């Protein structure tokens, strides 16, 4: 039993492999949060002493206890205006002018399995994998009932949380804020980490000391965004890769979000996260319900590396779903950086021939194939092949591509419309625009109002029609601008605050239907690269184009930052041309491949422009990838370098400890460099290992190979491995260790 209720102490404890999480019901019906941290037992309420710290009010029923205040006690889910002056989780007003919520305990249940959310992405559980706790709180004045939902995945060290709100009264309620999660930690000196960036430079970890007052990160873009990510970490100030206590909070949500941390007057910390309350409101009529997006809370006593590995496993096995979730992914050759908009049958077939010759699995036809799309000024929404460039249509093209070897994949941007398109001319009201105000353009395009059912149905029919018209095994689903002019022609004035969230509910419903009806199609998410790299997307599409930056050295940083929360199998990573189109940097082909092999591997260049020697190397890379792809897809990641190191060193270890891939890429080189001395991790100390193969790329001089002798696992773990100093233009090396004893 991972959920335990102690009637005498009135405590409810959630237990996972490494952690305990405890709450307590106290008179007059408040639900306090007592603890979340390393696994322990017993009633932990002794931690909280009544003491009057001044200017912290006490509830009416506790008027004789001036030291008892919601302002200083840790709460499980904080209402508002009830004497707790810290940042609230819930804000509302009713049509009788009642504001705030005084949430009191009204009961709880424990059930087997995981709770379900309707119409929102959510983790899933296999039989026996999870238990659900539902705690009901109620606010008498407004009639609002809040169900706090917890699904405990004991073996995974993970707790899913969400909130279900019901209007049980007779007034209309306007929700203005409804956080998915609240975590009050009364102790500790913390750092917090978030992942910031910009287009083509996404998700660099920003670690800073948690200071008194309110701090946080969020997005107002109508998408999770390139600039911020709905994932934050709170950790011991001393926490490193493999040591220290770390808490992760990740939202399964792709729209605007807000994660806030507040260190209060007593040094306690509150972490809340959910839908961005700015520009959000939701009207709840009597009898109606509202569910928040889900949050994944994870605790690791094994540092940041331990936290990443827990999230990776969970996202791969309990968030991703369907045919492709855990299967080897195809090696794609994508036309974008090879042709940009200049595509036609002849060029696509030439690429397909090359893809077949190199051994790639799928040729992806990117942007430029439909309507009169010769640049990014037009045609989004007109999803029929351009008759001059593709006179034989998609069915014929897909067949011809297949005859040459690879499968056929296609790019789409279904959420968008160009003002210069037949779709916009027919349905101008389907775009998000504010009446009487000229709309804002982004990449010359407008956003369709996905909250409207007729728009969802039109997109579904269009995409399904394309998928039925041709043998398409892969779809790249792009989104190249964010939401402005958030106004829906289909909503009444007092529901306009629902527009962005309804957009995402519409998007998720579309994704759900398409994945259900076309289960063998591999859908890849994309938003100008990594503008929507979040667990909400991963609940439907198992991989995402990580960044529009394909420079391998920049990608080291982007993939490293992304990998704090998200598994490598989710990060599409391609080898592109050199000099790189985004940075102008030249790098060796081998280094480009080694960097891309720490993701879902593919190519994004014109092989016709390469020499035969380079094509030969690519054939070898693809063959190598097929041997090692299970490691990035299912293995455990150990970061052996820090973001500030001049090299990136990543080690992947198979779950049974039998194989390990070490990749080292130099971000900068020095004269007379020191050898790289790396202590390996994750291997079995009692085992023996041999270097199965080793490769170098871009090295200035011939370096002698590491000895092909046997190494004790404990030697590699404790004494480490010395790699030769790497000099040259972005040199890199990769080696595979294989366990040689019988793996007992
Ligand atoms: C942005 C994507 O991230 C690129 O890979 C490419 O598909 C372009 N859009 C096409 O317009």
SS3 292: coil
**Before 28, cis peptide (omega within 30)?**
yes
For residue 340, report the distance from its CA to the centre of ligand 1, in Å.
9
Q: Nearest-CA neighbor of 511 among 469, 567, 464, 548?
A: 464
Whether residue 349 is predicted with pLDDT greater than 70 in this model: the reply is yes
In CATH, the number for domain 3-46+64-319 is 2.70.98.60
Tell me the average pLDDT across 22-51: 96
Residue 530 Cβ < 6 Å to ligand 1:
no
Q: Examine domains 3-46+64-319 and 332-631 and report if their fold is the same.
A: no
SS3 258: strand
Rounded CA separation 8/264 (Å): 31
What are φ and ψ of residue 373, in 5° steps?
A: -75, 90
Residue 337 Cβ < 6 Å to ligand 1:
no
CB-neighbour burial class of residue 458 (10 A; exposed 0-12, middle 13-18, buried 19+): middle
Enumerate the domain spans of the chain: 3-46+64-319, 332-631, 638-739
CA 184 to chain centre: 24
- 275-322 tens-digit pLDDT: 999 999 999 999 999 999 999 999 999 999 999 999 999 999 999 999
Rounded CA separation 650/630 (Å): 15
Residue 548 Cβ < 6 Å to ligand 1:
yes
CB-neighbour burial class of residue 79 (10 A; exposed 0-12, middle 13-18, buried 19+): buried
Q: Which atom of ligand 1 is nearest to the CA of 529?
A: 3
50-54, 399-403, 443-447, 498-502, range with the lowest pLDDT: 50-54
Pick from 336, 369, 375, 477 the residue to mutate for probing ligand 1's pocket: most ligand atoms within 8 Å of its CB.
Answer: 336
Greater confidence (82 vs 195) lies with 195
For residue 473, report the distance from its CA to the centre of ligand 1, in Å.
19
Give the pLDDT of residue 702: 82
Continuous segment of H or E residues that includes residue 22: strand 19-26
Residue of minimum CA distance from atom 6 in ligand 1: 336
Greater confidence (260 vs 704) lies with 260
Q: Which atom of ligand 1 is nearest to the CA of 526?
A: 3
For residue 201, report the distance from its CA to the centre of ligand 1, in Å.
15
For residue 397, report the distance from its CA to the centre of ligand 1, in Å.
21
Q: What percent of the chain has pLDDT over 90?
A: 95
Q: Nearest-CA neighbor of 552 among 515, 591, 584, 520?
A: 591
CA 502 to chain centre: 20
SS3 549: coil
Residue 531 Cβ < 6 Å to ligand 1:
no
- Alpha carbons within 13 angstroms on the beta-carbon side of residue 671 total 0
Q: DSSP 3-state helix, strand, coil percentages of the chain (rounded to 5)?
A: 20, 35, 45
For residue 385, report the distance from its CA to the centre of ligand 1, in Å.
18
Rounded CA separation 347/354 (Å): 11
- 450-470 tens-digit pLDDT: 999 999 999 999 999 999 999
In angstroms, what CA-CA distances link 238 with 169, 304, 655? Answer: 49, 11, 28
- Structural contact between residues 297 and 565, judged by C-beta atoms closer than 8 angstroms: no
Q: Which atom of ligand 1 is nearest to the CA of 545?
A: 3
| CB within 8 Å of 7: residues ≥ 6 apart | none
Of the chain, the end-to-end C-alpha distance in Å amounts to 31
CA 214 to chain centre: 24
| CB within 8 Å of 507: residues ≥ 6 apart | 254, 415, 450
Rounded CA separation 459/465 (Å): 10
Continuous segment of H or E residues that includes residue 394: helix 393-403
What are φ and ψ of residue 318, in 5° steps?
A: -130, -5
Count other C-beta atoms under 10 Å from residue 38's C-beta: 11
Rounded CA separation 472/125 (Å): 30
- Structural contact between residues 417 and 481, judged by C-beta atoms closer than 8 angstroms: no
For residue 407, report the distance from its CA to the centre of ligand 1, in Å.
20
- 499-543 tens-digit pLDDT: 999 999 999 999 999 999 999 999 999 999 999 999 999 999 999
Compute the CA torsion angle 713, 718, 719, 723 (nearest 10 deg). 70
pTM: 0.98
Q: Which atom of ligand 1 is nearest to the CA of 476?
A: 7
In angstroms, what CA-CA distances link 616 with 3, 363, 479, 590, 612? Answer: 57, 19, 35, 12, 6
Pick from 343, 409, 526 the residue to mutate for probing ligand 1's pocket: most ligand atoms within 8 Å of its CB.
Answer: 526
In angstroms, what CA-CA distances link 547 with 201, 226, 530, 533, 600? Answer: 7, 9, 5, 9, 13
Residue 370 Cβ < 6 Å to ligand 1:
no
Q: Which atom of ligand 1 is nearest to the CA of 411?
A: 7
- Structural contact between residues 144 and 138, judged by C-beta atoms closer than 8 angstroms: yes
CB-neighbour burial class of residue 743 (10 A; exposed 0-12, middle 13-18, buried 19+): exposed
For residue 412, report the distance from its CA to the centre of ligand 1, in Å.
10
Q: Which fold has domain 638-739?
A: Immunoglobulin-like (2.60.40)
Whether residue 727 is predicted with pLDDT greater than 70 in this model: the reply is yes
DSSP 661-729: EEEEEESS--SSPPPEEE---SS-TTSEEEEEEEEEES-SS--PPPP-SEEEHHIIIII-EEEPPP-SS
Tell me the average pLDDT across 212-217: 97
Q: Beta strand 474-477 with 522-525: parallel, antiparallel or unpaired?
A: parallel
8-22, 43-57, 93-107, 538-552, range with the lowest pLDDT: 43-57
Give the pLDDT of residue 743: 55
Continuous segment of H or E residues that includes residue 596: helix 589-596
What are φ and ψ of residue 546, in 5° steps?
A: -70, -40
Count other C-beta atoms under 10 Å from residue 453's C-beta: 11
b/e 389-422 (16+ beta carbons within 10 angstroms → b): bbeeebbebbebbbebbbbbbbbbbbbbbbbbbe
Q: Nearest-CA neighbor of 149 among 126, 127, 118?
A: 118
- 365-424 tens-digit pLDDT: 999 999 999 999 999 999 999 999 999 999 999 999 999 999 999 999 999 999 999 999
Residue of minimum CA distance from atom 2 in ligand 1: 528
Tell me the average pLDDT across 624-628: 97
What Rg, from alpha-carbon coordinates, does the chain have? 27
Rounded CA separation 526/628 (Å): 25
The residues carrying an active-site annotation are 478, 548
In angstroms, what CA-CA distances link 740 with 487, 650, 685? Answer: 63, 22, 13
- Alpha carbons within 13 angstroms on the beta-carbon side of residue 734 total 18
Q: Beta strand 173-185 with 282-284: parallel, antiparallel or unpaired?
A: antiparallel
Which bin fits 528, alpha (ψ -120 to 50), beta or left (φ > 0)? left
Angle ∠(285,117,477) on CA atoms, nearest 5? 110
Rounded CA separation 459/381 (Å): 9
Residue 524 Cβ < 6 Å to ligand 1:
no
Rounded CA separation 298/519 (Å): 30
Give the pLDDT of residue 744: 52
In 357-491 the beta strands, taken as DSSP E runs, fall at 362-365, 407-412, 416-417, 446-447, 474-477
Rounded CA separation 476/466 (Å): 13
In CATH, the number for domain 332-631 is 3.20.20.70
């Amino acid at each position: 039993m991972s959920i335990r209720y102690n009637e005498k102490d009135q405590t409810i404890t959630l237990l996972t492999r490494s952690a305990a999480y405890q709450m307590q019901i106290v008179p007059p019906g408040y639900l306090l949060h007592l603890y979340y941290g390393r696994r322990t037992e017993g009633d932990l309420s002794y931690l909280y002493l009544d003491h009057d710290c001044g200017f912290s009010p006490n509830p009416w029923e506790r008027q004789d206890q001036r030291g008892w205040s919601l302002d200083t006690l840790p709460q499980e889910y904080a209402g508002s205006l009830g004497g707790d002056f810290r940042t609230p989780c819930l804000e509302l007003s009713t049509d009788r002018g009642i504001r705030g919520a005084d949430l009191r305990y009204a009961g709880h249940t424990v059930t087997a399995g995981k709770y379900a959310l309707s119409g929102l992405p959510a983790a899933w559980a296999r039989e026996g994998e999870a238990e659900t706790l539902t705690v009901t709180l109620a606010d008498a004045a407004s009639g609002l009932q809040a169900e706090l939902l917890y699904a405990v995945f004991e073996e995974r060290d993970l707790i899913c949380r969400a909130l279900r709100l019901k209007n049980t009264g007779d007034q209309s309620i306007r929700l203005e804020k409804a956080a998915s999660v609240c975590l009050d930690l009364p102790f500790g000196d913390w750092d917090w980490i978030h992942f910031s960036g910009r287009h083509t430079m996404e998700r660099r970890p920003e670690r800073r000391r948690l200071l008194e007052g309110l701090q946080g990160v969020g997005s107002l873009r109508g998408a999770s965004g390139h600039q911020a990510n709905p994932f934050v970490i709170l950790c011991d100030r001393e926490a490193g890769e493999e040591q220290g206590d770390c808490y992760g909070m990740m939202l399964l949500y792709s729209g605007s979000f807000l994660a806030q941390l507040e260190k209060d007057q007593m040094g306690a910390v509150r972490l809340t996260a959910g839908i961005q309350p700015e520009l959000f409101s939701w009207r709840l009529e009597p009898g109606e319900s509202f569910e928040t997006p889900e949050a994944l809370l994870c605790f690791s006593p094994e540092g940041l590396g331990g936290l990443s590995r827990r999230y990776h496993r969970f996202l791969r096995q309990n968030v991703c779903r369907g045919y492709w979730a855990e299967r080897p992914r195809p090696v794609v050759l994508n036309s974008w950086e090879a042709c940009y908009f200049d595509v036609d049958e002849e060029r696509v077939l030439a690429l397909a021939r090359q893809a077949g010759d190199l051994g790639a699995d799928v040729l992806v036809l990117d942007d430029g194939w439909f309507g009169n799309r010769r640049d990014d000024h037009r045609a989004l929404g007109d999803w029929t092949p351009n008759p001059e460039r593709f006179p034989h249509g998609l069915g014929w093209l897909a067949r011809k591509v297949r005859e040459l070897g690879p499968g056929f994949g296609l790019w789409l941007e279904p959420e968008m419309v160009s003002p210069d398109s037949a779709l916009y001319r027919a349905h101008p009201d389907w775009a998000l625009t504010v009446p009487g105000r000229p709309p804002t353009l982004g990449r010359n395009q407008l956003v369709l109002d996905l909250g409207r059912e007729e728009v969802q149905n039109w997109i579904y029919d269009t995409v399904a029609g394309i998928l039925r018209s041709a043998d398409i095994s892969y779809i790249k689903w792009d989104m190249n601008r964010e939401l402005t002019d958030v106004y829906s022609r289909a909503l009444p004035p007092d529901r306009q605050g629902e527009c962005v969230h309804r957009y995402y509910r519409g998007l998720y419903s579309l994704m759900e239907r398409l994945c259900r009806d076309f289960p063998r199609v591999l859908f890849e998410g994309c938003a100008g690269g990594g503008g929507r790299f979040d667990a909400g997307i991963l609940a439907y599409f198992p991989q995402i184009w990580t960044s529009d930056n394909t420079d391998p050295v920049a990608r080291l940083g982007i993939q490293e930052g992304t990998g704090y929360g998200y598994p490598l199998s989710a990060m599409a990573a391609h080898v592109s041309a050199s000099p790189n189109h985004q940075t102008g940097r030249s790098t060796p082909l081998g280094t480009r491949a080694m960097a891309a092999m720490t993701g879902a591997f593919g190519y994004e260049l014109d092989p016709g422009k390469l020499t035969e020697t380079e094509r030969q190397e690519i054939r070898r890379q693809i063959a190598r990838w097929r041997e090692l792809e299970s490691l990035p897809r299912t293995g455990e990641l150990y970061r052996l370098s820090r973001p500030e190191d001049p090299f990136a060193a990543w080690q992947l270890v198979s779950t049974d400890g039998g194989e390990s891939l070490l990749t080292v890429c130099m971000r900068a080189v020095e004269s007379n460099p020191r050898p790289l001395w790396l202590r390996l991790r994750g291997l079995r100390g009692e085992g023996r290992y041999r270097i199965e193969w080793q490769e170098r790329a871009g090295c200035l001089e011939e370096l002698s190979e590491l000895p092909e002798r046997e190494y004790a696992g404990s030697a590699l773990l404790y004494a480490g491995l010395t790699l030769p100093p790497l000099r040259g233009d972005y040199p890199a090396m990769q080696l595979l260790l294989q366990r040689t004893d019988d793996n007992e």
